[in-house]
Amino acid sequence: MNKFFKILLFAMVALLCMSVVSFAADEVVDSASEQQTDDTFTVFCLGNSLLLHGPSENIGWYGNWGMAASAEDRDYFCVMQKLLKNDFPDMKSEWYRESVYLFERAISSSLDADYTDVLEGAFGAKMREVMPDVVTFQFGDNTPASEITAESYAYAMGQCIDFCRSINPDVKIILAKNFYGGTAKIKGAELAAANKAVALVDLSVYNLNEYKAGSLYENSGVAGHPSDLGMQKIAETFYEVIKIYAAGGEIEYDFSLIIDGNAAKLKAEPMYEEETVYISLKDVCTNLGYLVSFDASYKATCVSFGKERIIIPENCQYIMFTNKLVKLSSAVKTLDDGEIFVPIDFFNALGMKVEYYKSMNRVIVMS
């Protein structure tokens, strides 16, 4: 009997252990399932007083939301949320906002300044916590116009973009031309958007009295901020891009070639083959100021600039540059009409840096 009870006891203990292991496994699976089905769409807004300004009695502002909006649900931050809810009623979304006023004020004419510390202090920890899908840039109005150039402003915006991408490489960024405009800031925003391949929207078109609070506030600083109508327009402008990302889509862009921040003028449409983009050699040389000719001795196309020459044989993967053979990622293509197309790493052969942003159909070249 003792032997029987021992066997029975052993069987019961084994069964209990199996149940515990099974229960623990179920817990892990459920937890993983919850993580995988978390479809929360997260938007992180960076801005200035148009986005958020606390009460300030000395200027007659008592709200704690986007300055000059008549109520919290009328500022552009809240209006964007309502627009998303209307179009995607079943979507779970989370929205966050942070002021980057100190970053705005720190931007200078320097082309080698390091803004990492001020960006980290402004929103770094919070962004790591929430890992947003989309980040909106609505700032620059408080940057002293006399202390910047278009290039230095673009440089600062570029650092902010890179900082966000260092936290989440897949984040979608929407950069805005600032509300109050300014030649250097507008041009700088365009340069930054082109060089960093981010979406660009224009808020400066609303810098008109019809979109400002005006006589609703005695203080001219507050009165110069967007009214409810202005806030609505800003929200709609950002949302036109946000809704595309919310639907899982990408913005459709016409092909563009950006060389040192300037859009190249192209006469021929690019060619695509798998992951390779080909651009007309004639277009490339025209935009770089190079000369193109046919060298009968080599039976090849010759590109000349300064004292340098590039020999490009027909349909060959190798080119000769500074008396050295350089291998391209793919062979040069020569069409029936004689038009030559080169893969974009042709720029690398010239000692330039080239990047292809497929989602934006954009090639960016930096010399």
Q: Are residues 48 and 169 in the same domain?
A: yes
Of 292, 80, 94, which is closest to residue 176 (Cα–Cα)? Answer: 80
CA angle 348, 351, 352 (to 5 degrees): 65
Last residue of a domain, one of 217, 246, 275: 246
Rounded Cα distance between 128 and 169, Å, is 12
Residues 212 and 270 in one domain: no
Domain span including residue 316 = 256-366
Confidence category of residue 12, pLDDT binned at 50, 70, 90: very low
What is the per-residue pLDDT across 234-286, written as a single tens digit (0 to 9) for each?
Answer: 999 999 999 999 999 988 778 889 898 888 999 999 999 877 899 999 999 99
200 & 307 share domain: no
Q: What is the pLDDT of residues 55-72, one digit of tens each?
A: 999 999 999 999 999 999
Same domain flag for 338 and 198: no
pLDDT of residue 38: 66
Residue 123 lies in a domain: yes
Please name every residue paired with 310 in a beta bridge, in sequence order, or none if there are none.
303, 321
pTM for this prediction = 0.74
Structurally, the chain folds into a number of domains equal to 2
Alpha carbon separation from 283 to 227, 279, 331, 334 (Å, rounded) = 47, 7, 18, 14
Q: What is the mean pLDDT of the chain?
A: 88
